[in-house]
Amino acid sequence: MTTDEGSWPGFMAQIVDHLAHPVFVKDRAFRFVYVNRALCQLVGFPREQLVGKTDYDFFPKAEADYFRKKDTETFATANEVEIDEEPITDAAGKRHVLATTKVPLRGASGEVTHLVGIIHDITALKSAEDALRMANEGLERRVAERNRELADAQQQLLREERLAVLGRLVGGLAHQIRNPLGAIANAAAILAKALGPSASPEARQAVAVITEEVWRTNRIIVDLVDFARIRPAEPRWVEVAALVDVALANHERPPRIGLTLDLPQPLAVSVDREQMESALGHLISNALEAMGDRGGLSISARHEGEQVVIAVEDVGPGISPEVWAHLFEPLNTTKPFGLGLGLTTCRALVENQGGTVTGSTVPGKGTRFEVRLPAQGQP
């Protein structure tokens, strides 16, 4: 194949050499017999080095294998072969993505003697496609996250609306039930006084049962009211030790249950005092009830990073994995009375302060709960 400038092939070679797209010609031995300037610029090898050599002299074996496969297909089928996407690594080690068309060239007798390769470098296009795909995927993730957030917000709004309705309902029921409960309690007290010390054991037991059941019923009402009427917090700075003192004072501790306190001073949190006293009270009540009439209760507090951590720990029987899995769900309780709202209410009250409640338990050894409250802006 001559490239004499005065000949027709030489004239065409000059034209092809000025094309923007890389072009090459190979013989049936898969050797380059012609390469234009654009191809030399693409692969980073000079024309003199490429002509007479094969792909295996310049490119990684995996790439050369693929080029040879497509060249063989072109010669075998004598048809044009379109390659939508193929990689190539240039002399500097940079990877390109190409779209290549390979066309068979026939000799005077009609046999295929050479093939022409016409290349489109689509590296920039593929990079743009990849960037667009990643942007779309990122957008889809953000939309999905936003949809989840909206769904969560909608569910939270529905829960708050239901709680508001429940609060009004519970408030009305509590008023209606507490009136007869008060009358029953007063009647039981009058009856016990009237019976006097000479009353039969059966009569005294009957009055004790009435009094006990009134107390239990009233506690259920208190739990319901606490759960249903969690108002917005009104935070004020208060010493952690003062919160614990009030919470402990509201619960009678059996004589054989020891108490260990580790409450460094000054250590304060900005919380709704009444709500936090109630939240700690639920944890203390659970711990005391878990231990029965003997054991040990430990309450400690510490400053940890941007949080104040208050821990309530008992040495009771612990909690089984089955119960623990649903620990903060309402109506989940192993107690013979009550609605299982204590821990649910405790968590709601703590979260109302911007805090969290977590716990751990070892069956047969005890349970530990940690209340974490924000500590920014300590006074």
Q: What is the CATH number of the domain that holds 107?
A: 3.30.450.20
Q: Worst-scoring range by mean pLDDT, 2-6, 9-13, 28-32, 86-90?
A: 2-6
Distance CA 379, CA 377 (A): 6
Q: Would you say residue 100 has pLDDT above 90? A: yes
Residue 306 lies in a domain: yes
Please give the average per-residue pLDDT across 66-87, as a whole number.
Answer: 95
Say what angle helices 201-228 and 123-195 make with each other, to 10 degrees: 150
- pLDDT bin (cut points 50, 70, 90) of residue 5 is very low
Structure confidence at residue 154 (pLDDT):
85
Structure confidence at residue 376 (pLDDT):
59
Q: Do residues 361 and 319 make contact, with C-beta atoms less than 8 angstroms apart?
A: yes
Distance CA 16, CA 103 (A): 15
Instruction: Answer with the one of 228, 247, 266 that is the final residue of a domain.
Output: 228
pLDDT, one tens digit per residue, over 8-50 is 467 777 888 888 999 999 999 999 999 999 999 999 999 999 9
Of 214, 373, 143, nearest to 280 by C-alpha is 373
Q: Would you say residue 265 has pLDDT above 60? A: yes
Distance CA 142, CA 169 (A): 40
- Name the residue range of residue 56's domain: 8-121
- pLDDT bin (cut points 50, 70, 90) of residue 115 is very high
Structure confidence at residue 170 (pLDDT):
64
- pLDDT bin (cut points 50, 70, 90) of residue 335 is low
> pLDDT: is 341 or 133 the higher one?
133
- pLDDT bin (cut points 50, 70, 90) of residue 226 is low
Instruction: Answer with the one of 203, 228, 253 that is the final residue of a domain.
Output: 228
Residue 281 lies in a domain: yes
pLDDT, one tens digit per residue, over 137-182 is 999 999 999 999 888 888 877 766 766 666 666 667 777 787 888 8
Residue 135 lies in a domain: no
Residue 73 lies in a domain: yes
Distance CA 366, CA 319 (A): 8
Please tell me the total count of domains within the chain.
3
Structure confidence at residue 165 (pLDDT):
66
